[in-house]
Amino acid sequence: MSDSLRIIISGGGTGGHIFPAVSIANAIKALRPEAEILFVGAQGRMEMQRVPAAGYEIVGLPVRGLIRPLWSPKNIGVALDYLKSLRQVRKIVNDFKPQAAVGVGGYASGATLDAAARLGIPCLIQEQNSYAGVTNKHLAKKASKICVAYDEMERFFPADKIMKTGNPVRQNLLDTKLTREEAIKTFGLDPTKKTILFVGGSLGARTINESILRRLDTIRKSDVQIIWQTGKYYNAKINEQLAAVEPIVNLIATDFISDMGAAYKAADLVISRAGASSISEFCLIGKPVILVPSPNVAEDHQTKNAMALVNRQAAMIMKDSMAPNELLDLALETVKSDGKLKSLSMNIKKLALPDSAEIIAKEVLKLVKSE
């Protein structure tokens, strides 16, 4: 093994874990170009494709999440896979010999940082949400530093280890040079009209999609334009439904948007789930947003994420159960109010924490020096 800097980064499962992980890796490489970085993920999860696409090596563990209810016999297999993952990751750590380990949440990070800490390797945790995940709470005692994005995280972690850094975001969102007019034209829409972006993540959000499907006639008669990321899971069925009705020229539906920087630039208002990474992006670009927290997440943490903004008049919120019938009306009303859009934009930008990836990367390098 060479004497170069070696860092393990582990986590994934969702884009909300993967984007920060890759951003941290990029920041470490910017500071120390000779650094060797190895990712550890969970087999079959999206990090196994996204991380290599970003130019980094990744190894996968058979680790997976607990099945509800917890007394399910299937959890015997989950436990056995975790033990198998621990054995595998100990060998990975012994072979790679990292000088620090970074965990961003997700199934794999628990086993990886547990193994690293047992071998005396300093560990850093990056917690994206306002309500700490089970894995990170478990790892807190073993971590040397815990980087967070919200206040009052002493509820979950030792106060002397916490550093408020914010969440790293996708750099291409900040680097886009397009004007609003140019961005709207890339979608074939009219720059003179107000535009709303509905986005539910790479897989989609059923409730957000339903809020549009139920009101196609309202959208057709509106003078507002809509860019709609349906998500890959729902796209085929949605295309069938759209093909069966009169064309709606002010509605652009697509399963995936490759240039989210352009999409955000085009939008006067965004409708989104309340994942921590998405919220951090909205803060940095100062984008007015209506958040629809997913009810299908641990400890209802997306509602807690959203309320941290709503309580500062920096975002609006729509309950998931109410969205199919009420979300579109709220969106159309809000996007037509320049005063409301300006207020939301100003307040959300006040919450931005820029340069998060670089700050976290520097903390990782401090851990290496303090070995």
Q: Which residues contact 228 (CB under 8 A, 6 or more apart)?
A: 197, 198, 209, 212, 251, 252, 253, 254
Residue 212, classed as helix, strand or coil, is helix
Whether the CB-CB separation of 281 and 264 falls below 8 Å is answered with: yes
pLDDT of residue 1: 47
Q: In the chain, what are the helix, strand and coil shares in percent, each to the nearest 5? A: 50, 15, 35
pLDDT of residue 204: 59
Q: Alpha carbon of 199 to those of 23, 25, 208: distances in Å?
A: 22, 26, 8
Query: Sign of torsion, CA 336 337 341 342?
Result: positive
Which residue from 54, 138, 136, 56 is spatially nearest to 103, judged by alpha carbons? 136
d(CA 39, CA 28): 13
118: left (phi over 0), alpha (psi -120 to 50) or beta: alpha
pLDDT (tens place) for every residue of the chain, 371 residues total: 456 899 999 998 777 789 899 999 999 999 999 999 999 999 998 899 999 999 999 999 998 877 777 788 888 998 999 899 999 999 999 999 999 999 998 889 999 999 999 999 999 999 998 888 888 998 999 999 999 998 899 999 999 999 999 999 887 777 788 999 999 999 999 999 999 999 986 655 889 999 999 999 999 999 999 999 998 888 899 999 999 999 999 999 999 888 899 999 999 999 999 999 899 999 999 999 999 999 988 778 899 999 999 999 999 999 999 999 999 999 999 999 999 999 999 999 999 999 999 999 999 999 997 65
pLDDT of residue 231: 87
Q: Which residues contact 92 (CB under 8 A, 6 or more apart)?
A: 8, 38, 40, 59, 112, 115
Question: Which pTM does this prediction carry?
Answer: 0.86
Residue 10 token pair = 């582990």
Q: Which residues contact 119 (CB under 8 A, 6 or more apart)?
A: 90, 93, 94
Query: Sign of torsion, CA 236 237 243 249?
Result: negative
**Side-chain half-sphere exposure of 299, counting CA atoms within 13 A:** 11
